[in-house]
């Protein structure tokens, strides 16, 4: 059974003049103990999607989904407080900019202590304070902070960015979540710290069988740590598959461009030659193109691309494109036919439910 | 924290020096002889005048005159009142505590009413409760205080008869002056009617304090509302809600403290405004405070009294300002540490 199953989730920004569809029908599913990467340029709605999953978006964002299941529970049928209770019990999130996500007027120790669920503590109420403190120290050790007494007493502005990030991870782990959403956990961090954080996350995944949704703009970096990857562009679903499929057999022109733009995958390129990049930049929210939002930048765009493509499933490798890059000659043939006779031979289409 | 305290204290000393400089320059700007303006001795004999000129060092240059003025202030000698020929220092000592009492009570009322209302408005942002609170605060801010004071007397003391209309305490009670602050004096006194006196003094202070508190309270409502809205949109509040805290826990543990930090600085600034309102209100409610005394002195062209009254009042406002700075530092860990370039 899927841990998390989201189908066609849309997020709309409610404003006075015109509502903006920031995230347009994105599907995401996760299995127990899976590490999934969520990749896209900045502004592609990855963080929004993550915040919608943990239900912390404020009133001006309107979230709508066709299906939103968590471990078999249909969350859409539950009221908001019930949904919130289930989500905050099982899902934890590490936010971007750890410094801004810690209350500047409260000590780190207090903020950690309040994240610990009192059901984890046994004993009478006069023992709870002590147990809570012991649990805080244990959590800090778990994320690799050895000098716990100094850390507990200090305020967020007295710690470095990397330490704050570790504290944020400790807070996220305090509830013993089943799914951890890490939103750019290593942004603005040096390489050594990045490695430590990723190793910490992957050890948690292996020891505790904790599923991790790793959000990043850096495709090349997270391929070392993920089992599966979902790619987004400008609020639309692009491609999903195993890391191997995405990195070596990308079907969507955008994913292909992402892979091509990374220097690691292009070591055969002669020195001082240009890296492949897509022309242009990601569209702003006020001027989103209709249909496939990659259209204006896509090297393979044709007239059909003014209509939004539906998701095709090639043995678990899902892609949302009218003209995917198909590797085998047979598939190429079918694609040629399709261009002639308008998508009649698409392999196993996923119904839009 | 020590450095923070030292900084505030040095700021206090230098501001006081500037204030004395200003009040010293006033005696040259007022019409008449500077020595008489500064000492208030209008009926002085020629011998006394010579003595005064010597003690204020008028023969030497202006710097020494200023130093002489400073030493007089340090000795507590603020001169004589031109109108009544009484010693100004004693009058101020008798009157200032009543004003301190009134304005502090008014400030507390304004804070305890205004700030929670502002928080409620922010939490119910864009809902009817928010709009009602905002429009009431707009109304309260636009009512002139002298009219509001008269209206309050008319309804609450004349029509309804709930509160007395004038004075600090009924003349029936004899309370010995010890600290000057009436409530403390009542509690210290060993009169058998102590508690009756206490309730009488409370009844006297409610009406003027509420009238003074209206305008600052409306400002606090607006400040509290904007700062709370700002705080509720920050990422640490979002992170706290992802952490699984309930809305109440978020408000009471994180939001209120952070919102208060933004408000508390303005409380000190608003206090000057509040004292100005208190001066007018003291006249309306015949409150025996320094504000009424100062307004009467202005009316009587009592230059010596104006000069010293301004000095003492601004000193009082500044002390309150520094106290709010300390509260700010206690709430905000960022302000306590050593900062470079500040």
Domain-embedded: residue A316 = yes
Question: Are the C-beta atoms of residues B239 and A172 closer than 8 Å to each other?
Answer: no
Task: Using an 8 Å CB-CB cutoff, list chain A residues near B122.
Answer: none
Question: Are the C-beta atoms of residues A320 and A252 closer than 8 Å to each other?
Answer: yes
B269: containing domain: 88-336
Helix orientation angle between A125-142 and A108-115, rounded to the nearest 10 degrees: 110
Residues A204 and A98 in one domain: yes
What would the pLDDT profile of A248-290 be if each residue is shown by its tens digit?
888 888 888 888 777 766 667 777 777 777 788 888 888 888 8
Between CA A29 and CA A216 the distance in angstroms is: 17
Domain-embedded: residue B19 = yes
Enumerate the H helices of A209-320 as residue ranges: 219-222, 243-248, 253-260
Question: Are the C-beta atoms of residues B12 and B322 closer than 8 Å to each other?
Answer: yes
Domain-embedded: residue A304 = yes
Percent of chain A with pLDDT over 70: 90
Does the pLDDT of residue A298 top 60, yes or no?
yes
Residues B288 and B328 in one domain: yes
Domain-embedded: residue B79 = no
Domain-embedded: residue B177 = yes
Q: For residue A42, what are its two tokens?
A: 């900045």
Residues A177 and A40 in one domain: yes
Q: What DSSP string describes A11-52?
A: EEE--SS--EEEEEEEEEEE-TT-EEEEE--TTSSHHHHHHH
Between CA A107 and CA A128 the distance in angstroms is: 19
Question: Are the C-beta atoms of residues B109 and B278 closer than 8 Å to each other?
Answer: no
Q: Do A101 and B235 touch (CB under 8 A)?
A: yes
Task: Using an 8 Å CB-CB cutoff, list chain B residues near A114.
Answer: 243, 245, 249, 253
Please report the number of interchain residue pairs, chain A to chain B, with beta-carbon separation below 8 angstroms.
66
Question: Residue A267: what pLDDT?
Answer: 67
Q: Name the residue facing A114 among B235, B245, B257 (closest C-beta).
A: B245
Residues B123 and B249 in one domain: yes
Q: Do A157 and B333 touch (CB under 8 A)?
A: yes
Does the pLDDT of residue A61 top 50, yes or no?
yes
Q: For residue A270, what are its two tokens?
A: 């002669």
Q: How far is A120 from chain B (nearest CA, A)?
A: 14
Q: Is A90 on the interface with B (CB under 8 A)?
A: no
Question: Residue A327: what pLDDT?
Answer: 67
Top residue of B239, B254, B333 to mutate, by most chain A CBs within 10 Å, is B239
Does the pLDDT of residue A1 top 60, yes or no?
yes
For this complex, say whether ipTM is above 0.90: no
Question: Are the C-beta atoms of residues B278 and B214 closer than 8 Å to each other?
Answer: no
Residues A120 and A249 in one domain: no
CATH (domain of A178): 3.40.50.300
Q: What DSSP string describes B215-254?
A: HHHHHHHHHHHHHHHHHHTSHHHHHHHHTT--HHHIIIII
Between CA A127 and CA A76 the distance in angstroms is: 39
Find, in chain B, the residue whose alpha carbon is nearest to that of A51.
B242
Report the number of distinct structural domains present in chain A: 2
Highest mean pLDDT among A12-26, A59-73, B217-231: B217-231
Instruction: Give the mean pLDDT of A17-29.
Output: 84
Q: For residue B132, what are its two tokens?
A: 């009602």
Find, in chain A, the residue whose alpha carbon is nearest to that of B247.
A81
Question: Residue B227: what pLDDT?
Answer: 92
Between CA B181 and CA B102 the distance in angstroms is: 10
Domain-embedded: residue A137 = yes
Does the pLDDT of residue A142 top 60, yes or no?
yes
Q: Name the residue facing B241 among A56, A89, A158 (closest C-beta).
A: A56
Residues A254 and A219 in one domain: no
Domain-embedded: residue A12 = no
Q: Do A88 and B333 touch (CB under 8 A)?
A: no
Does the pLDDT of residue A42 top 90, yes or no?
no
Residues A211 and A86 in one domain: yes
Between CA B193 and CA B187 the distance in angstroms is: 11
Regions of chain B where pLDDT drops below 70? 337-342
Residues A293 and A202 in one domain: no
Q: How far is B330 from chain A (nearest CA, A)?
A: 10
Residues A142 and A49 in one domain: yes
Residues A244 and A185 in one domain: no
Residues B245 and B138 in one domain: yes
- Residue B185: CA count within 13 A, CB half-sphere: 18
Lowest-confidence region among A47-51, A136-140, A288-292: A288-292
Residues A258 and A300 in one domain: yes
A143: containing domain: 33-56+80-223
Domain-embedded: residue A351 = no
Q: Do B253 and A114 touch (CB under 8 A)?
A: yes
Residues A295 and A196 in one domain: no
Question: Residue A201: what pLDDT?
Answer: 86
Question: Residue B300: what pLDDT?
Answer: 86
Residues B6 and B109 in one domain: no
Enumerate the H helices of chain A as residue ranges: 46-53, 80-90, 108-115, 125-142, 148-153, 161-173, 191-208, 219-222, 243-248, 253-260, 329-340
Q: Do A106 and B257 touch (CB under 8 A)?
A: yes
Q: Is A70 on the interface with B (CB under 8 A)?
A: no
Task: Using an 8 Å CB-CB cutoff, list chain B residues near A157.
Answer: 333-334
Between CA B156 and CA B163 the distance in angstroms is: 6
């Amino acid at each position: 059974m899927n841990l998390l199953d989201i189908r066609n989730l849309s997020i709309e920004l409610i404003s006075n003049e015109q509502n903006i569809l920031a995230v347009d029908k994105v599907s995401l599913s996760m299995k127990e103990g899976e590490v999934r990467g969520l990749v896209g340029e900045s502004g592609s709605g990855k963080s929004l999607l993550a915040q919608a999953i943990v239900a912390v978006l404020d009133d001006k964002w309107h979230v709508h989904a066709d299906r939103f299941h968590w471990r078999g529970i249909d969350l859409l049928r539950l009221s908001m407080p019930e949904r919130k209770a289930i989500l905050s019990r099982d899902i934890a999130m590490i936010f971007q900019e750890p410094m801004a996500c810690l209350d500047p007027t409260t000590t780190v120790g207090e903020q950690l202590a309040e994240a610990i669920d009192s059901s984890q503590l046994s004993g009478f109420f006069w023992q709870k304070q002590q147990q809570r403190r012991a649990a805080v120290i244990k959590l800090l050790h778990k994320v690799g902070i050895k000098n716990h007494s100094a850390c507990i007493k200090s305020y967020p502005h007295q710690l470095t960015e990397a330490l704050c990030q570790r504290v944020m991870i400790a807070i996220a782990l305090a509830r013993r979540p089943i799914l951890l959403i890490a939103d750019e956990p290593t942004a603005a961090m040096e390489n050594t710290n990045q490695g430590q954080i990723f190793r910490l996350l992957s050890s948690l995944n292996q020891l505790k069988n904790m599923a991790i949704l790793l959000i990043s703009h850096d495709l090349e970096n997270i391929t070392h740590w993920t089992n599966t990857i979902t790619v987004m562009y400008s609020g639309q679903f692009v491609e999903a598959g195993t890391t191997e499929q995405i990195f070596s057999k990308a079907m969507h022109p955008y994913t292909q461009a992402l892979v091509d733009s990374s220097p690691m995958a292009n070591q055969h390129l002669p020195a001082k030659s240009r890296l492949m990049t897509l022309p242009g930049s990601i569209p702003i929210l006020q001027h989103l193109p209709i249909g496939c939002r990659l259209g204006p930048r896509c090297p393979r765009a044709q007239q059909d691309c003014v209509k939004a493509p539906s998701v095709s499933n090639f043995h678990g490798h899902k892609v949302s494109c009218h003209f995917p890059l198909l590797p085998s000659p047979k598939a190429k043939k079918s694609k040629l036919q399709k261009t002639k006779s308008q998508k009649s031979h698409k392999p196993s289409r996923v119904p839009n439910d | 924290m020590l450095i923070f305290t030292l900084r505030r204290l040095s700021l206090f000393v230098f501001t006081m020096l500037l204030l004395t400089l200003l009040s010293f320059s006033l005696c040259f700007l007022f019409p008449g002889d500077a020595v008489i303006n500064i000492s208030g001795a209008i009926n002085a004999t020629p011998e006394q005048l010579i003595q005064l000129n010597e003690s204020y060092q008028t023969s030497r240059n202006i710097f020494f005159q200023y130093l002489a003025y400073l030493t007089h202030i340090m000795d507590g000698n603020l001169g004589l009142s031109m109108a009544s020929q009484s010693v100004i220092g004693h009058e101020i000592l008798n009157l200032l505590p009543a004003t301190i009492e009134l304005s502090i009570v008014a400030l507390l009322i304004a804070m305890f009413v205004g700030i929670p209302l502002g928080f409620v408005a922010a939490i119910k942002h864009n809902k009817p409760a928010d709009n009602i609170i905002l429009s009431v605060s707009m109304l309260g801010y636009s009512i002139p205080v002298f009219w509001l004071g008269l209206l309050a007397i008319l309804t609450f003391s004349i029509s309804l008869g709930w509160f007395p209309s004038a004075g600090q305490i009924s003349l029936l009670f004899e309370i010995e002056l010890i600290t000057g602050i009436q409530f403390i004096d009542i509690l210290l006194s060993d009169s058998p009617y102590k508690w009756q006196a206490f309730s009488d003094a409370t009844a006297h202070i409610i009406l003027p304090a509420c009238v003074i508190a209206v305008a600052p309270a409306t400002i606090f409502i607006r400040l509290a509302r904007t700062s709370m809205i700002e705080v509720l949109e920050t990422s640490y509040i979002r992170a706290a809600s992802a952490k699984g805290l309930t809305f109440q826990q978020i408000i009471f543990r994180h939001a209120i403290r952070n919102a208060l930090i933004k408000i508390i600085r303005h409380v000190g600034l608003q206090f000057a405004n509040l004292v100005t309102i208190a001066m007018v209100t003291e006249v309306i409610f015949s409150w025996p405070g320094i504000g009424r005394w100062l307004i009467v002195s202005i009316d009587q062209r009592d230059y010596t009294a104006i000069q010293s009254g301004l000095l003492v009042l601004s000193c009082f406002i500044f002390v309150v300002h520094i106290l709010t700075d300390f509260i700010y530092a206690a709430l905000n860990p960022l302000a306590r540490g050593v900062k470079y370039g500040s």
